[in-house]
Structure 1
Amino acid sequence: MLDDRDDEFGGYAHEEILQALVRHLLTSADLDQLCDDADLPQLTHDDGQPVTITSARVYRDAGVMTLDRGVWLELSDGSVFGLTVQISRRPRSEVTLRRN
């Protein structure tokens, strides 16, 4: 059964869910821990302190002027990234949302 929150996904369920998932993953742990988990080098400032994610917002909440879905990341070193979620092909059959 769908609840009121499922209405937010509308006709863009894939994009909205992937956008929310990326945002959650990037805010559920420190960036240096995520790099360790992925066996990647860590980003550090000149003083050796790790670079952190200071903000991770969906495009809509960040005021990004686009119809695309995505996550706007701001890092402690001043860099800003937009991770865009785009569908290259729609599903072949109808997809429903299921709560765990």
Structure 2
Amino acid sequence: MAKTKKVGITGRYGTRYGSRIRKRAKVIEEAMKAPQKCPVCETKVAKRISTGIWECKKCGAKYTGGSYKQATQPGLESQRIATRVQRELIEKSKE
């Protein structure tokens, strides 16, 4: 199949579903199919296996994340809060 210039990965939809929806799908699907950074070995070879499940092709680590991206905004926020709370508990225990 020939490569398309403008529509990219959403060329398979043809003229169906409307241009706005196809453009939104293009952004999501390109981000989903792009190589992601593995949190274990730090290489950009992690791929999506199924909804929310990601696997590193180099080290074989499997982990969960977002449906279309490796990490979601709420997930990153909760991780940041948990790290801060843990750091505060360590500081209190030292006092």
Same fold per TM (> 0.5)?
no
Q: Of Structure 1 and Structure 2, which has the larger fraction of its residues in strand?
A: 1
Instruction: Give the greater-gyration-radius structure (CA).
Output: 2
Q: Of Structure 1 and Structure 2, which has the larger fraction of its residues in helix?
A: 2
Task: Give the TM-score of the pair, scaled to structure 2.
Answer: 0.33
Higher relative contact order (CA closer than 8 Å, sequence separation 6+) = 1
Task: Give the TM-score of the pair, scaled to structure 1.
Answer: 0.32
